[in-house]
Amino acid sequence: MTQFDTQYKEAIREIMNKGYEETNERTGHKIRIAPGITFRLNEGFPLLTLRKIPTKLFIAEMIWFISGSNKPADFVNKFTPIWKDFTEADGTVAAAYGYRWRKHFGRDQLGQLIMHLTQEPHSRQAVVVTWDPSDDGLYGQGLKSTPKKNVPCPYAFTVNIIGNKLHLHNIVRSNDMMLGSPHDVAGFALLQYILAAKLGVKPGMLTHSISNAHIYDIHYDQAWELLERENKHSEIIIDPQPDWFDRAEKTDESLVDEIFNLLNKQYHPLPVLEGMKIVL
């Protein structure tokens, strides 16, 4: 199995065998939870092969994020309908990650990260924040928060260039481990590869830290099925190009197909796990 397959399978095993079972108030579902799950990945591109992942979805999504748009109709809806569930009446996603990275806080965090690390590659201050503490979460009686169809799950990441490699640490408050986590890992790995190529270094360690790693009750059967799976799959190796960042900023649709083809010709996953539905 690949490095990610192995670590992901162990995380699922820990949650199912040792996790706490509780009922989530917001969704009404029972969930099994493990706190503080972390993946550390530095061998190949971390695309889960224990089940088939919809590859174009996370590619198009990350390109949309890099563009800084908060309107799914601008680009990402052409490739997946998933963001329609999170779109407000005005056509925007209130907490769109890319918009938060590039516009929401009055500065272009992502663009300035590239400029900063170009000028000072060994800086330890390359931090991008998605969570807005003035308006996200902490809602309830007597607490003021604007109602939103989604709030950020990956809420901050840091970038370090060490040993001529770009290392990205993604911090996630909540991950649906059966559906969301493999998708998020692949998406942020793609961001890491794009930033590394833009800055003229190689991709290094991707660290994906999850505060609340959970499996919904409607996915328990699929989790047990996944734990029975093995896949002798070699690591996926891609060579990111320096122009990918600039093309993503311009929402170049051909970039989706280009990256998809690079991954897909090496990607030989096991079949999909049937019957998994997203919990909103």
**CB of 214 closer than 8 Å to CB of 175:** yes
Instruction: Give the CATH number for residue 22.
Output: 3.30.572.10
How do residues 109-126 score in pLDDT, each as one tens digit? 999 999 999 999 999 999
- Residues 96, 153, 197, 206: which is the catalytic one? 153
Query: What's the number of domains the chain is made of?
Result: 1
Q: Is 119 inside any structural domain? A: yes
Whether 128 is catalytic: no
Question: pLDDT tens, position by position, for the chain (280 residues)?
Answer: 999 999 999 999 999 999 999 999 989 999 999 999 999 999 999 999 999 999 999 999 999 999 999 999 999 999 999 999 999 999 999 999 999 999 999 999 999 999 999 999 999 999 999 999 999 988 877 777 788 888 999 999 999 999 999 999 999 999 999 999 999 999 999 999 999 999 999 999 999 999 999 999 999 999 999 999 999 999 999 999 999 999 999 999 999 999 999 999 999 999 999 998 989 7
Residue 102, burial from CB neighbour count under 10 angstroms (0-12, 13-18, 19+): buried
Length of the chain: 280
Residue 279 lies in a domain: no
**pTM greater than 0.85:** yes
Q: Does residue 74 form part of some domain?
A: yes
| Within a domain: 225 | yes
In a domain, 276, yes or no: no
**Helix and strand element counts for the chain (H, E):** 8, 7
Q: Which of 232, 212, 201, 252 is nearest to 62 (CA)?
A: 252
The answer to whether residue 188 sits within a structural domain is yes
Which residue range(s) make up the domain with 169?
Answer: 3-264
Tokens of 159: 């970038």
pLDDT tens per residue across span 195-216: 999 999 999 999 999 999 999 9
Residue 43 lies in a domain: yes
245 in Cβ contact with 255 (< 8 Å) = no
Q: Is residue 271 part of a domain?
A: no
